Structure 1
Amino acid sequence: MQLIYKGKTKDVYSLENDQVLLKFKDDVTGENGVFDPGANTVGLTIEGAGKSGLKMTKYFYEKLNSLGIPTHFVSADIDAVEMVVKRANVFGKGLEVICRYKSVGSFLRRYGAYCESGQPLDRFVEVTIKDDERGDPTISADALEMLGILTQEEYQILKGLTQQICDIIKAELATKELELYDIKLEFGRDAVTNEIILIDEISGGNMRVYKNGNYIEPLALEKDFLGV
């Protein structure tokens, strides 16, 4: 295998047949030793975080694939902490798409003059540019088109897929009395078909989930949700 990229929480290796391998790490994003799914730096290392994240990711991707949602997922090896996926091209230098059901995190920090913590939001979708140096700034649909990153039509596809996928994830979590407040997804274009597909992981490290009003840490979330 040839190393393509060393990421914050995963390393990426090239495989044959337009596939790549993602090797999950125990590093998680955050600041000053505190976990934060919205942070753009590695904040701490939690033993077992990689395997925990892959278990959640495998569960949700298998669910989405069974429903015909376009994703990059091919297979996962939990013991090896590895996932095989279709090769995909990111939009520009990479985008993150956040779907918000409750006011929390950076949304609350930015718009706290107009909302309260935990205030309901109607599947609010926002896009940020992956740019550590500039703090992953948010970007509008108009700016995405003007900068040649996404067309308006592609943005609507991205938004629709985001809401559809997140509603599925939210409903799955709700079966265990877990409430999804927000979640961060990534999309790209299938390197072979050019179709817009969901990429990267779907784990506790990418979402804020609460139970009875209390925040659930990623590793505890996996155990609570999957019952292991």
Structure 2
Amino acid sequence: MARRKKVYEGRAKILYEGPEPGTLIQYFKDDAAVPAAPAPSSGVEGKGVLNNRLSEFFMSGLNAIGVPTHFIRRINMREQLVRMVEMIPLEVVVRNFAAGDISDRLGIPEGTPLPRPIVEYYYKDERLNLPLVSEEHIIAFNWANQQDLDDIVALALRVNDFLSGVMLGVGIRLADFRIEVGRIWEGDFMRLIVADEISPDSMRLWDLRAAELPDREGQTRDPGPLPDVYTELARRLGVMPSNVTHATPKPSLIN
């Protein structure tokens, strides 16, 4: 069997040339996706298998409701066939609740509901620690134009509606998440689609079921991080592979 040509390798995935023009094979590694880590990320056994299944679940669901993604089909336990896209060099973060970086920057207590979903852009360059950028920066440096940004916001908010509803249905609050967007051409027509992956690596999830249980003083607690996030999310959504039953640590992706 011919050796596949590697196109790109990141923290958590490897992209190989696909079997047909305009396609890629996306391989999910077990490495933890922790940007700006001072040392190489340690491996988490089985994480890639779970993220492959979970990303398939979310991407297929988005495709089914008319939100275009690069996902075509899952190939095996760790690989999926995706469309080749021209990636826009931005991480698009949607925030529903204050947490992490936005709490630090603006002094908003963590867990505060935001008056509406807030969309932020981070320039995708890990050498610069993914800096927060404005629409003015994006347009000035020609990473995207105003129409692209309008389309990105529309995509991000539709993804937010879908993910928030799915998570709420299994007792989870979607505090924030990030997506990446790419361009594809169909003849002379260009459109933007959701690319990369959607998995626990790119979400901040809080467990609403734990909040329903009283603490030692009999008081209900605030929602906290979902324990064993990869395995527990796969279990609640019904996509747990039968041969992956171990616990894995929570990810840390969104600032």
**Fold equivalence (TM over 0.5):** yes
Counterpart position of 1:64 = 62
- The DSSP-based 3-state class of the residue aligned with 2:42 is strand
Does structure 1 conserve the Cα–Cα contact (< 8 Å) formed by 2:51 and 2:200?
yes
Query: Is 1:14–2:24 an aligned residue pair?
Result: no
After superposition, the Cα gap between the structure-2 partners of 1:77 and 1:138, relative to the gap in structure 1 and judged at 3 Å, is: same
Query: Is 1:86–2:98 an aligned residue pair?
Result: no
Selected match of 1:120 from 113, 118, 125: 113
* The structure with more strand, counted as a fraction of residues: 1
Which has the larger displacement, 102-111 or 56-65?
A: 102-111
Mind listing any 5+ residue stretches in structure 1 that lack a counterpart? 31-38
Does structure 2 conserve the Cα–Cα contact (< 8 Å) formed by 1:98 and 1:183?
yes
User: Alpha-carbon deviation of 1:166?
Assistant: 1.3
Distance in 1 (CA, whole Å) between partners of 2:137 and 2:239 is: 43
Instruction: Map residues 26-105 of structure 1 onto 2, 5 A cutoff.
Output: 26-30=30-34, 39-41=35-37, 43-79=41-77, 81-91=78-88, 94-105=89-100
User: Alpha-carbon deviation of 1:191?
Assistant: 5.0
User: Alpha-carbon deviation of 1:227?
Assistant: 6.2
Give the AA of the match of 1:82.
Answer: E
After superposition, the Cα gap between the structure-2 partners of 1:227 and 1:152, relative to the gap in structure 1 and judged at 3 Å, is: closer
Distance in 1 (CA, whole Å) between partners of 2:48 and 2:129 is: 24
Counterpart position of 1:206 = 202
- The DSSP-based 3-state class of the residue aligned with 1:62 is helix
After superposition, the Cα gap between the structure-2 partners of 1:177 and 1:140, relative to the gap in structure 1 and judged at 3 Å, is: same
Instruction: Give RMSD over aligned pairs.
Output: 1.5
Mind listing any 5+ residue stretches in structure 2 that lack a counterpart? 212-222, 241-255
Equivalent pairs, count = 215
Selected match of 2:225 from 212, 215, 222: 215
Counterpart position of 2:214 = none
User: Alpha-carbon deviation of 1:218?
Assistant: 2.9
Does structure 1 conserve the Cα–Cα contact (< 8 Å) formed by 2:183 and 2:192?
yes
User: Alpha-carbon deviation of 1:182?
Assistant: 0.5
Give the AA of the match of 1:86.
Answer: R
What TM-score, normalized to structure 2? Answer: 0.80
Give the AA of the match of 1:58.
Answer: E
Report Cα offsets for 1:69-114 as digits up to 9, x if no partner: 11111001342x00111110012xx2100000111112222222xx
Q: Percent identity?
A: 25
Distance in 2 (CA, whole Å) between partners of 1:73 and 1:48 is: 21
